[in-house]
Amino acid sequence: MARIKTDKNISRKDVIVNKAAILFREKGFKAASMRDLAESVGVEAASLYNHIKSKTELLHELCFSVANRFMHKIDTIETEQISSIEKVEKLLKFHINEMIHHYEEVYVSDREWKHLADPYLSNFQNQRRIYRKRFAAIIETGIRNKEIKKIDAPTAVLIMLHAISGIESWHRSTQKISATELEENMITILVGGLVHK
């Protein structure tokens, strides 16, 4: 009889959630079926329901575990006594590393949250909106301090966040540069711009 393998400190539910992340990333939430997921876990579809409540619950878990990490990070960065540019850089580095090391989770949270059901959906959208406002506020402080040039802060936030989601393509690339190089390049371009002055 097939059995879901577990190491210490990782429940069978965690195994399922992690496999779901991979599958949702590959196919999208709607296109990935519970039978697909069951196969990748090594079990029959019905057996999954001994560990999870529903397919949507898997999406909740993924989206909010990512959202919570980001919220926690911006909490601590806001209180630090460093320049605005340094705060932006720290935030960017965090995003980049999240994207590199928790690729599937972050990707799914980014692209598939639309399929959340409604108490969760509004909640998620709210968190997202708040996060972006707090990010924009850091940039606006930097503008007032003349550290950062006069730009529309919300637009800058959009650019940064979406630019980082481009790591998706890096992740699948065969001839890729190292993670450190990637991080350096991204910070250089986003903070310093393209132009050689």
Partner DNA sequence: AAGTCTTGCTAACACGCGTTAGCTTCTTAT
Partner DNA sequence: ATAAGAAGCTAACGCGTGTTAGCAAGACTT
For residue 151, give the amino acid letter: I
Q: Which of 39, 164, 175 is nearest to 107 (CA)?
A: 164
Among DNA, its own copies, none, residue 56 binds (CB under 5-8 Å by kind): DNA
Residue 174 C-beta: closest distance to its own copies, Å? 11
Among DNA, its own copies, none, residue 47 binds (CB under 5-8 Å by kind): DNA
- The two three-digit tokens of residue 158, written as one number: 């959009």
Residue 112 C-beta: closest distance to its own copies, Å? 8
- The two three-digit tokens of residue 41, written as one number: 């876990």
**What is d(CA 11, CA 4) in angstroms, rounded to the nearest whole number?**
10
Q: Which residues bind its own copies (CB under 8 A)?
A: 27-28, 30-31, 85, 88, 111, 114-115, 139, 142, 146-149, 151-152, 154-156, 158-167, 169-170, 173, 177, 181-182, 185-186, 188-197
Q: Which of 94, 97, 109 is nearest to 17 (CA)?
A: 109
The tally of CA atoms less than 13 A away on the side-chain side of residue 121 is 7
Among its own copies, DNA, none, residue 1 binds (CB under 5-8 Å by kind): DNA
Residue 32 C-beta: closest distance to DNA, Å? 6
